């Protein structure tokens, strides 16, 4: 095919003869093409010729969107694998291997009935370990806005968000522990604490200096008592024991001691009776006095009656309380 050129100064005759020569010699007559060509113009005939040629000497590729591409003689088919998604390897002879890399990245989603990753299996909404009964999350946090349903939860620490948490019928709110179905918490084992207090803090049970202490801060009834190692009851200084009696009123009996200047011991005898004090009146009876228990030193005003013999020697002295 030669290049045809018509100058602006050429005549119309020159244009006519040049065009006819171009159609006759360069493009050719469509009637001279093979009878198998059904096209009615030269461009369609060329496309049809390529289709016939590639049907025997080439092939057509098509993707999932039905887009087609003809691969003819001399063409090169290139297959490129996207990083972390697919690997394509060409090897002898005429071999193309397409596979997955060691690390696969799925940019949108992956749908499959079951996923196996090592000994971890994900099937439906269930995660199981195929080689043991425990799944470890390492040092990672496990967060859910739903509910954990399990027979037992074991861990070094359990931390939850929010102010109140409930385990069964036991509620933990801040540093307050309570039962949701009663007013009592039952502890079936030994329970230890640095100190125990009543609801208002009036009574405290704790340890001070290696001794167990009972301490009350109630107004007008404060008491601090310690149980010593030898099981003695120790009452701290300036403390008393107050008895209400059988009637709940303002009348009480207070047991106290004077400030000791030495180590004193008061022993309560092994019998039943009433303790006599300096305020007792007509409380001592004859049966309470031992024989020969009263001598001249116990008489408030001492008088004596002496019996003398004929020589003036005292034979008997009789002591009595004088008027």
Interval 69-98: pLDDT, tens: 877 767 788 888 777 888 888 888 778 888
**Confidence check: pLDDT of 231 > 80:** no
User: Is there a contact between 204 and 196 (Cβ–Cβ < 8 Å)?
Assistant: yes
pLDDT band for 221, please (50, 70, 90 cuts): low
Distance CA 73, CA 62 (A): 18
* Residue percentage of the chain with pLDDT more than 90: 6
Give pLDDT tens digits for 35-61.
Answer: 555 666 656 666 666 666 656 666 778
User: Is there a contact between 96 and 90 (Cβ–Cβ < 8 Å)?
Assistant: yes
Distance CA 5, CA 14 (A): 10
Higher pLDDT, 202 or 37: 202
Which residue from 138, 304, 308 is spatially nearest to 321, judged by alpha carbons?
Answer: 304
Sign of CA dihedral 176, 178, 184, 187: negative
pLDDT band for 308, please (50, 70, 90 cuts): confident
The reported pTM is: 0.37
The arrangement of strands across the sheet holding 176-179 comes to 164-167, 170-173, 176-179
**Confidence check: pLDDT of 189 > 90:** yes
DSSP assignment letter at 80: -
DSSP assignment letter at 19: H
- Write out the two tokens for 321: 């309380």
Distance CA 148, CA 111 (A): 25
Supply the mean pLDDT for the chain: 79
Poorest-pLDDT segment among 5-19, 186-200, 217-231, 281-295: 217-231
Residues forming a β-bridge with 117 = 120
Rounded mean pLDDT, 172-181: 89
Three-class SS state of 143: coil
Poorest-pLDDT segment among 7-16, 210-219, 241-250, 278-287: 210-219
What pLDDT sits at residue 203? 86
- Write out the two tokens for 275: 């303790």
- Write out the two tokens for 301: 């005003």
Rounded mean pLDDT, 153-157: 74
Which residue from 78, 194, 131, 169 is spatially nearest to 69, judged by alpha carbons?
Answer: 78
- The dihedrals phi and psi of 172, each to the nearest 5 degrees, come to -115, 120
What pLDDT sits at residue 210? 76
| Distance, C-alpha 241 to centroid of its chain | 48
Poorest-pLDDT segment among 23-32, 205-214, 254-263: 23-32
**Confidence check: pLDDT of 237 > 60:** yes
- The dihedrals phi and psi of 12, each to the nearest 5 degrees, come to -65, -30
Residues forming a β-bridge with 123 = 114, 126
User: Is there a contact between 48 and 38 (Cβ–Cβ < 8 Å)?
Assistant: yes
Q: What is the DSSP string of 250-311?
A: S--EEE-----SS-------SS------TT-SS---GGGS-TT---GGG-SSEEEEEEE-TT
* Residue percentage of the chain with pLDDT more than 70: 79
What pLDDT sits at residue 23? 64
The burial class, CB within 10 Å (0-12 / 13-18 / 19+), for 9 is exposed
Distance CA 54, CA 60 (A): 8
User: Is there a contact between 196 and 202 (Cβ–Cβ < 8 Å)?
Assistant: no
Q: Which of 73-82, 212-221, 271-280, 287-296 has the highest mean pLDDT?
A: 271-280
What pLDDT sits at residue 27? 58
Residues in the chain: 323
Three-class SS state of 18: helix
Distance CA 281, CA 36 (A): 152
What pLDDT sits at residue 26? 58
Higher pLDDT, 210 or 275: 275
> The tokens 């005939």 sit on which residue?
45
């Amino acid at each position: 095919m030669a290049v045809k050129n018509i100058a602006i100064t050429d005549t119309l005759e020159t244009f006519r003869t040049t065009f006819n020569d171009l159609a006759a010699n360069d493009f050719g007559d469509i009637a001279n093409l093979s009878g198998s060509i059904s096209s009615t113009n030269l461009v369609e005939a060329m496309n049809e010729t390529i289709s016939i040629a590639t049907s025997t000497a080439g092939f057509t590729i098509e993707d999932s969107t039905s887009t087609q591409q003809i691969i003819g003689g001399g063409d090169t088919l290139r297959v490129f694998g996207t990083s972390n998604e697919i690997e394509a390897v060409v090897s002898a002879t005429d071999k193309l291997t397409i596979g997955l890399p060691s690390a696969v990245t799925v940019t949108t989603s992956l749908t499959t009935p079951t996923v196996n990753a090592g000994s971890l299996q994900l099937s439906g909404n269930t995660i199981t370990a195929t080689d043991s009964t425990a799944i470890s999350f390492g040092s990672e946090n496990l967060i859910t806005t739903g509910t954990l349903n399990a027979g037992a939860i074991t861990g070094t620490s359990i931390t939850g968000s929010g102010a109140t948490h409930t385990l069964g019928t036991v509620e933990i709110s801040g540093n307050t522990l309570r039962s949701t179905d009663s007013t009592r918490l039952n502890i079936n084992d030994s329970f230890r604490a640095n100190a125990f207090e009543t609801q208002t803090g009036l009574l405290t049970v704790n340890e001070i200096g290696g001794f167990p202490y009972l301490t009350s801060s109630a107004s007008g009834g404060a008491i601090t008592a310690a149980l010593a190692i030898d099981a003695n009851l120790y009452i701290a200084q300036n403390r008393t024991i107050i008895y209400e009696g059988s009637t709940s009123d303002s009348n009480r009996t207070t047991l106290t001691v004077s400030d000791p200047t030495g180590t004193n011991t008061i022993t309560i005898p092994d019998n039943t009776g009433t303790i006599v004090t300096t305020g007792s009146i007509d409380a001592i009876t004859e049966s309470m006095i031992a024989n020969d228990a009263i001598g001249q030193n116990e008489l408030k005003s001492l008088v004596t009656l002496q019996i003398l013999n004929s020589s003036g020697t005292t034979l008997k002295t009789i002591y009595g309380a004088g008027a």
